[in-house]
């Protein structure tokens, strides 16, 4: 009862599923120091087996980059996620990408966000590996558990279990 009186809220657990089908690896394995050294935040990365990106959570689209290579999401609990498709894909200037949502859209787990041409990224970008990052770790995250698998399925395979403060 005292917790209710003094505004201490219960922790919320967010179960984040794979936004892309493929092999899940630790963020430290991404061949780009901005991601591998966790400069943007904690997370995982997926080596994609196809070119579809779906929402890994119920939430709101907060940003779709003009080049469509990255998308930002925010959950009801305040957790902010960045899905970054491939490495150095900003240089493709949108080539091979199609967005299905825009900033302000509400999404449910499994809703299609972006599609991308895996062959174009393979050919013209540094890597197809696609990070999923928690961008506001310090502000809202109490604990993160990572799950790794060879064959993650979108909307089914949990890749991050996050306890939000």
Tell me which residues are annotated as active site.
84
Cβ contact 124:90 at 8 Å: no
Identify the CA nearest to 68 among candidates 48, 51, 45, 44.
Answer: 51
DSSP reduced 3-state for 109? coil
Cβ contact 118:92 at 8 Å: no
3-state secondary structure 65-106: CCCCCEEEEECCCCCEEEEECCECHHHHCCCCEEECCCCCCE
Identify the CA nearest to 14 among candidates 81, 86, 72.
Answer: 81
Neighbours of 52 (CB within 10 A): 17
């Amino acid at each position: 009862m005292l917790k209710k009186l003094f505004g201490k809220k219960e922790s919320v657990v967010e179960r984040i599923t794979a936004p892309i089908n493929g092999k899940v690896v630790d963020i430290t394995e991404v061949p780009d120091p901005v991601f591998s050294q966790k400069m943007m935040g904690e997370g995982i990365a997926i080596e994609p087996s196809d070119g579809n990106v779906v929402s890994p959570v119920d939430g709101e689209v907060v940003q779709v980059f003009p080049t469509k290579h990255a998308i930002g999401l925010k959950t009801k609990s305040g957790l902010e996620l960045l899905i970054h498709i491939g490495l150095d894909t900003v240089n493709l200037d949108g080539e091979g990408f199609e967005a299905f949502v825009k900033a302000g859209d509400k999404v449910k787990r499994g809703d299609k966000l972006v599609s991308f041409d895996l062959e174009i990224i393979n050919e013209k970008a540094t890597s197809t590996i696609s990070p999923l990052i928690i961008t506001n770790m310090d502000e809202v995250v109490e604990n993160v558990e990572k799950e790794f698998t060879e064959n993650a399925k979108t909307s089914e395979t949990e890749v991050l279990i996050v306890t939000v403060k």
